[in-house]
Amino acid sequence: MTQPRLHPIYAGMPVTIFEEMSGLSRQTGAINLGQGFPDGAPPPALLEALARASMERSHQYPPMAGIPELRRAVAAFYARTQALDLPPESVIVTSGATEAVASAILAVVQPGDEVLLFSPAYDAYAPLVRRAGGVPVFIALQPPLWRYDHAAIEAAISPRTRALVLNDPLNPTGTVASPSDLAMLAQLCVTHDLFAICDEVWENVRFDGQPHVSLLAQPGMKTRALKIGSAGKIFGATGWKVGWIVAAPEVAAVVGRAHQFLTFTTPPMLQWAVAEGLESPQIAQSCTARWAETRAVLIEALTCEGFALLPNAATWFTCIDLPASGIPLDDRTFALCAVHEAGVATIPLSALWEGSSAPTDIARLCHCKPAAMLVEAVERLARWRDGGA
């Protein structure tokens, strides 16, 4: 008897590096500095808003595009923080930012279209492009600054190029596109008639004192850019899976048609709570301030123990240069040894890379954890490196 054939894209695909390392962390009892999530609860005001919504509001299907309160709150949040003039009709609420990325890709990419992806990149982009029938085209960014090179991007564009995906601030490196980078990318999109799918979930998690600037705000990008945001990253509530995508109303309407056949909608009580959170600037500010403190703890601990850090200004992540830190292992071997032998889970940067020239000597550590946990993790890594684990 023959067995029905499963889809080859998924049948041979391993679990994500985040699931793998978190699973190993659970199995071994290791400190998890791999997958990015805070260990603590979201801000009390957000939990109180959720409790009220759960008691007083509907638990039935909300509108497909999101409850009106959250769509208005997202538009107002961007008007206040990034000076973007957006009507609520520009906002489609999704079940997390990854679903927003999927909806955007399905709305933009047709079979045979090429999509520019910058390596390293969040590992969902390429599989989603392929599932839509598109062809990922990888452009390597170079450490330690990970800048966008005009000549390399121009060379990758062909008559089949339909879109690019820009993750800014960039996970896993924690770097931020410069104003000249954004202007250059916008000009390329206009010149070559491209959409830009802008994964900006880390827009509120910046530590350089600079406000986030979206590619959507660049000249010519109003109807080309699809901007993605995440309540999970703004408020440290990753398990809530509340995201959104913002685009010109006529573009957002098409994205909504794709979204309706993915998750259709998102739990309404979570949407009402996030709407309240976005309307209170101090809630998001308190989250970023707390993560700035824990980031400083991790950086100081790593520096004191002789680990070499790569520059970063945003996200929940800090990267270390393994050879310069006295660790003569590739990043994958290091990650497996560290979780089993040192009791610390990390992410190898090469796992977030497709295409050629992947660096294999950089590891990513998550800093949105309690200070004592971060110090203990670094001490464990240092003892193991120095032969005392």
pLDDT at 29: 95
pTM comes to 0.95
By the 8 A CB rule, do 381 and 34 touch?
no
Q: pLDDT, tens digit, for every residue of 184-228?
A: 999 999 999 999 999 999 999 999 999 999 999 999 999 999 999
What's residue 176's pLDDT? 97
Cis, peptide link before residue 144, omega less than 30° from 0: yes
169: preceding bond cis by omega (within 30 degrees): yes
Buried b (16+ CB within 10 A) or exposed e, 350-372: bbbbbbeebbebbbbbbbbbeee
pLDDT of the residue at 51:
97
pLDDT of the residue at 14: 82
Enumerate domains of the chain plus CATH numbers: 8-42+283-385 (3.90.1150.10), 44-279 (3.40.640.10)
pLDDT at 40: 87
The predicted pLDDT at position 8 comes to 81
Give the residue ranges of the chain where pLDDT is below 70. Answer: 1, 356, 388-389
Q: Report pLDDT for 354.
A: 85
